[in-house]
Amino acid sequence: MNSLSFLKASFRTAITVKGIDGLLEAVGGVLLWFVKPESLGGSLQGIFQHELSRDAHDFIAAHLLHASEKFAHSDPLFASIYLLAHGLIKAMLSAFLWMNELWAYPLAIGVFSAFSVYQVYRFTHTHSITLLLLTVFDLLIVYLTWEEYRVEKSRRGAPAKP
């Protein structure tokens, strides 16, 4: 596999993951619209009861329960709208990138860069390693999108904009 096909495969994989993540975020936003945040912790506690009884420090269960507690103390309408909008933007951009829509490449670079800046800002307040890892993933997607954009522009005979 040459470097160009490796970059293309990496790009396709990354935008697929980003698109699925966006859809899950949007579904979460819709669910949050209808589910009271206070009941979310109890529901998650019930779902993860077996795992927590075996390992009280299970990373995934503990992380989800902690997140549900944070949501219980936040504005559910804002969180719902934020998740829905953020998720739909990611899913739609991923779909347009899959369809090789040339205009979507610079837009995706700008949007994912803006998400990264906001995530770094949030990291300064939360010190969440997960948020930092998501930012690194977003920056990787920005790089892969830029590389794929250059390839697509040259393949179509137009120079890539700096």
Task: Tell me, yes or no, whether 162 lies in a domain.
Answer: no
Containing domain of residue 109, as a range?
Answer: 3-155
Q: Look at residue 160 and tell me if it is in a domain.
A: no
- Give, in order, the Cα–Cα distances in Å from 70 to each of 18, 39, 76, 143: 24, 12, 10, 32
Measured distance between the N- and C-terminal CA atoms of the chain, rounded to whole angstroms: 28
For residue 8, is it within any domain?
Answer: yes
Q: 77 lies in a domain?
A: yes
pLDDT tens-digit series, residues 99-149: 999 999 999 999 999 999 988 998 898 888 888 888 999 999 999 999 999
Q: Is this prediction's pTM over 0.75?
A: no
What's the structural domain count of the chain?
1
**pLDDT tens digits, residue range 31-88?**
878 876 555 555 555 655 555 566 666 666 566 555 655 555 556 777 788 889 999 9
Helical segments of the chain, H only:
3-34, 37-47, 49-54, 59-72, 76-98, 104-126, 129-155
